[in-house]
Chain A
Amino acid sequence: MSTETKTGTALKGGEFLVKETPFTNIATRDELSEEQQMFSKTAEDFVTTRVQPNVQRIDKGDHTLVVQLVKESADLGLLGATVPEEYGGMGVDVITDSVINEEVGKGHSWAAAYAAHTGIGTLPILYFGTEEQKNKYLPGLASGDIKAAYCLTEPGSGSDALGARTKAVLSEDGKYYVLNGQKMWITNGGFADIFTVFAKIDGEKFTGFIVDAKSEGISLGSEEDKLGIKGSSTRQVFFNNVKVPVENVLGEIGKGHKIAFNVLNIGRYKLAVLALGGSKKSTTVATKYANERIQFNVPISSFGAIKHKLAEMAIKTYVCESAVYRSAGDIDNMIQALVAKGTDKVQAKLIAAEEYAIECALLKVFGSEVLDFVVDEAVQVFGGTGFSEEYPVARAYRDSRINRIFEGTNEINRLLSVGMLVKKAMKGELDLITPAMAVQKELMSVPDFGSDDSDDFFAAEKKALKNAKKAILMTAGAAVQKFMQNLEKEQEVIMNISDMLIELYASESVLLRVEKLISVRGAEACSLQIDIARTYISDSLEKINLSGKHAICAFNEGDTLRIMLMGLKRFTKYEPYNTVAARRRIADKIIEENGYCF
């Protein structure tokens, strides 16, 4: 992807809340390089010809086939895409990895196996392994000869990951650790060759270990009977006096949380990409059905109620895509910048993912909720056949549901996103105070009745988003002032703020993307994308308004409440937009193309 067009300095993580981004600064899915397109095509062909025809077999529990397909994907270079070349991978950037994962995301249970292997399975070693460990494991992980699983969760510790009870004790001769404990919901548990296990040394120092699955003392529970992704292997893993050589300690002793959380940062981003792929697929599947299904002598796609659904599915998917690739681009740019300054490429990626941890958490929530929305509406479009397991959408509906739970529940990610933002502000990494103070001042002054800059195509939208940022700063700023250290106990308020942040990030991303697209193709050729952006922003501002109201009413009274509510109203204004007509135009295009086409 050409980066020459970029101007200005890149935004830091979380800065989207306080700064404006020129469209030239963001990456979009519309400008993939030839190489990236090739990767996309390879992944698409593989998933279409090898995975999708076998979805039923895989869901019945054919893990041999799952493993075989993992291996086949490796032969195409898909498994080790993000592993550096020196370790047998392709060393692609985040955007390239994303186009691959989008296609993988259409692969149901197999996608979970692939993602667990390449993500939480491989990344801990890639990021935190010693040179020896990397040399020993990465080539095998990239080639699929070694399959990996990640053992963090325990029956008693899910969201509270650090509450793990698995224990490691150093042997008297200092040569190995003895591991005892029990891990739960371990994806790929049934066939993994190595496990990244988190345990507390002497019950205190939370530490990562690379554990050979063949070690004595390891045993597996039976396959979990799950609601969805039935074809992915999910088991408990038991460690009974397992001897792990000291050279298999991953990263620093007592710094296991760093591994766990960093791997989750990028894992969350990847989850959003996988969900995006799934959303595109289900939108297409629903469109095809709506075109085929005849009721009242016409295809049901000709009904307004169905058009509304199809359009909304496509809108959310497109917006999600805009946000995902914007983040990917930001991460890639930071990696490039760091590498240019001499940082090791792998370290650079780690640093960059941490920098954009807020965006990753927001994307995880947004991506998984868009997918859940899309599959739910797909079932509804299918009617009775949607409830039948012999049609594709029931599976999609069941499979989707885990995404709001794993890699940190969406509640945890909402809380985290705001928590991280506040922390960044406290540390002085991000100046929220100055703009928040400015908003406070503005609240007391005469409203800005300035007309929109008519030269700018998106003047109204830009103004609206600028105001939305003020709405969030006002709400979050007041909450911090009011609760100080106790803010974390006000989870409802934090969730409201997080919802506002998600809407802002999504809205701004789609706006910038469309603006960029217009700069290339002209507005006329982008009329539907303009519809998408305006419809989304119109709805989004209503959501920001409501979330703000809930939050503000939760901790203000009297005059303060009144002033803030007035400010909120002012900051969430947007000209009424005929979203019904816009959705019809969007739907008509999808219907004509017989699938998602943006």
Chain B
Amino acid sequence: MSTTADKKTTALKGGEFLIKESQWQDVYIPEQITEEQTMLRQATKDFILKEVDPRLEELDKDPMKGPEVIDKAAELGLLGLHIPEEYGGSGQDLTTFSYVTEVLGWGHGISVAIGAHTGIGTCPILYYGNDEQRAKYLPKLATGELKAAYCLTEPWSGSDALGARTKAVLSEDGKYYVLNGQKMWITNAGFADVFVVFAKIDGDDKKFTAFIVEKTMEGVSVGAEEKKMGIKSSSTRQVFFNNVKVPVENLLGEAGKGHKIAFQILNIGRYKLCNGVLGGAKRGISQAVRYANERQQFKTAISNFGAIKHKLGEMAIRVWMSESSSYRVCDLILQKEHELKAAGKTMTEYLTGGAEEYQIECALLKVLGSEALDFVVDEGLQIHGGYGFSEEYPMARAYRDSRINRIFEGTNEINRMLSIDALLKFAMKGKIDLMTPGMAIQKELMSVPDMSTPDADDIFGAERKALKNAKKAFLLIAGGAVQKLMMGLEKEQEILMHAADVLMDILNMESGMLRAEKLVNLHGLEASQIYVDMVKCYFFDAMDRINVAGKSALTAFAEGDELRIMAMGLKRFTKYEMINTKNIRRAVADKLIAENGYCFWD
């Protein structure tokens, strides 16, 4: 797949989408899927339809049957996609992995089980294992002979992951660590053979360290299955460590560097979560469309009603826009990986370097994806009416299952704050220059507004202008907050949350616009008009959201004249065309209805 040949500009660095303009040639879009990837994707669809769908109820009743399905996935090679060939995998790149993960996202709790195994279960060893550890575990993780779980959270440490109390003490002979502690909400715990466990050596906060622990080691035990609201087919238990002797060679990475592993794994995990939930969301849309086409009320299919069309249209638009960001970021991560590999970096460095570089984007995607899914299942349920509330129809399960995504891999609140925190850190370190554009805005605030009209020949003239302004709006809000609050900003979580909301919309607006533009360039305007319209509809609402979030943020830290000037600037920076969003949503819905399911790249 030649994705590099048509690139015009150098790749964006992490967070740089905020201050730089990208061209459509710069972005990767899912429509660039290769034939080989399409085949693999189809195989994954078949797997879900054959192995998961018919067993949903049975699997929900007994999560210990999950391994049967995971083994089937292993037979198809789905567990080892990202594992290099020398360790028994197929060494596929992140893009290919994503195409598969997205479809696995159809699998309810099973997708969580598989995701936990291949992601947070396997990746710590893949990324941070030494040669021996990799050779010992990865081939068996690829075949599913070993199943993995990740033990970070404890009853008293959730968002505060580093507050863990599990303790590791080196034995006198220096041959093993003795582990004591308790981990909670551990996915796959019921059947996992290998646990990646985070513990503090000697209970010292500075010695947060990861260990590979095997189930067969004496002193490892698991609690009863948690009774969860959703993803019931995934096993979730507590795991107890009672004087467990872990050989020193099972220490993962460096002693005292466990936080690095934990956070790196979460970076890429957040991207993957987004990728998976968007697959689930597309399926949810298809189910809702089919039901709306079948259900007759007032002597007509309910899909004929404007209220239903509005919902269907909006569901598709939100998912399509977030998907545009997701594949764009996927490619950026992958390019970074290639770059680091070419530069001779170690496997650890190039495998983790991409997600680390784009940690801001990963955090934003996690929120965007999980909230898009929650929106879709909520509206999907509503379209189903009374049947939506019945467990015998698919939406109730989807509704319950979806809800965890806003909580795990860092709650959406934590991820919102992280994204801004990381951005500010990047700026402090001089990694990206927010100062220059920030200052330019201050100057612009004092000068005559730019009244130029967008280029009429450019179908995205208005959007490009709006996007540029939206970025200014963000810099105005965040820049103002930083100046005013300095180090105190981190205590102003509400402002951080507003800023993160703005940043997410900017990422989506830009990614969606560039995707649509690329499609126009590939297939012509006529064939791509619907995407152009979807982008415009999203812009309309997003610019309003930015305005509202911005106002809340500004009034929280500015007053009097200062506030007035900034508010005027915000108003100027959040202007967009007044377009008929009702007609766009109807057009989008009509397409979904005609195709009887999600049809904008499925």
Contacts and interface: CB of A to CB of B under 8 A. Distances in A.
Interface of A: 153, 156-160, 163, 184-185, 224-228, 294-297, 300, 303-308, 379-380, 383-384, 386-390, 394, 397-398, 401-402, 404-406, 409-411, 414-415, 489-493, 495, 542, 546, 549-550, 552-554, 561, 565, 576-581, 583
Contacts of A580: 492, 494-495, 552-553, 555-556
A304 B298 contact: no
B389 A228 contact: yes
A295 B230 CA distance: 25
Contact of B406 (A226, A380, A389, A542): A380
A576 B563 contact: yes
Given A227-B396, A305-B417, A554-B583, A492 B407 contact: no
B408 A384 contact: yes
A562 B228 CA distance: 52
Contact of A405 (B309, B388, B403): B388
Contact of B386 (A305, A406, A578, A579): A406
Given A384-B184, A553-B582, A405 B382 contact: yes
Contacts of A414: 307
Contacts of A489: 306
Nearest to A311: B494
A384 B497 contact: no
A283 B160 CA distance: 24
A303 B307 contact: no
Contact of B407 (A156, A306, A380, A554): A380
Contacts of B413: 305-306, 380
B297 A160 contact: yes
Contacts of B548: 542
Nearest to A162: B298
B297 A163 contact: yes
Contacts of B554: 576
A246 to B, nearest CB: 31
B419 to A, nearest CB: 13
A149 to B, nearest CB: 15
A387 B229 contact: yes
Given A227-B396, A305-B497, A553-B580, 6 more contacts: A163-B299, A295-B157, A295-B158, A304-B493, A389-B227, A489-B306
7 contacts: A158-B385, A295-B160, A296-B159, A305-B413, A379-B407, A493-B582, A554-B582
Contacts, number: 178
Nearest to B395: A227
Output the residue of A160, A297, A304, A550 with the most chain B CB within 10 A. A304
A388 B306 contact: no
Nearest to B385: A158
Contacts of B496: 305
B556 A581 contact: yes
A405 B307 contact: no
Given A295-B157, A387-B407, A225 B228 contact: no
Interface residues of B, number: 73
Contacts of B412: 380
A518 to B, nearest CB: 24
A307 B413 CA distance: 12
Contacts of A224: 390, 392
B305 interface: yes
A157 B160 CA distance: 50
Contacts of B396: 226-227
Given A380-B406, A554-B583, A492 B381 contact: no
A579 B551 CA distance: 10
Contact of A553 (B403, B406, B581): B581
B407 A305 contact: no
Nearest to B547: A542
B400 A226 contact: no
Given A160-B298, A379-B403, A397 B229 contact: yes
Nearest to B306: A491
B461 interface: no
A577 B555 contact: yes
Contacts of B227: 388-390
Contact of B385 (A394, A409, A493, A583): A409
A295 B297 contact: no
A352 B97 CA distance: 62
Contacts of A411: 307-308, 382
Output the residue of A295, A306, A565, A576 with the most chain B CB within 10 A. A576
A406 B579 CA distance: 34
Contacts of B160: 295-296
A184 B381 contact: no
Contacts of A406: 386
Nearest to B161: A295
Contacts of B385: 158-159, 405, 409
B411 interface: yes
B308 to A, nearest CB: 8
A371 to B, nearest CB: 14
B582 A305 contact: no
B280 to A, nearest CB: 16
A296 B491 contact: no
A185 B404 CA distance: 28
Nearest to B381: A401
B479 to A, nearest CB: 18
A577 B228 CA distance: 41
Given A389-B228, A491-B307, A578 B555 contact: yes
B163 A296 contact: yes
Contacts of B308: 411
Contact of B390 (A225, A305, A490, A492): A225
Contacts of A404: 382
A219 B75 CA distance: 49
Contacts of A401: 381, 389, 399
Contacts of A552: 578
Contacts of A415: 307
A409 B494 contact: no
A379 B386 CA distance: 23
Nearest to A490: B306
Given A295-B163, A546-B544, A304 B228 contact: no
B156 A294 contact: yes
Output the residue of B159, B296, B491, B582 with the most chain A CB within 10 A. B582
B320 interface: no
Contacts of A583: 494
Given A305-B413, A404-B382, A398 B229 contact: yes
Nearest to B564: A576
B310 interface: yes
A226 B307 contact: no
Given A158-B386, A303-B493, A415-B307, A387 B581 contact: no
Contacts of A390: 226-227
Given A389-B229, A576-B554, A578-B556, A226 B497 contact: no
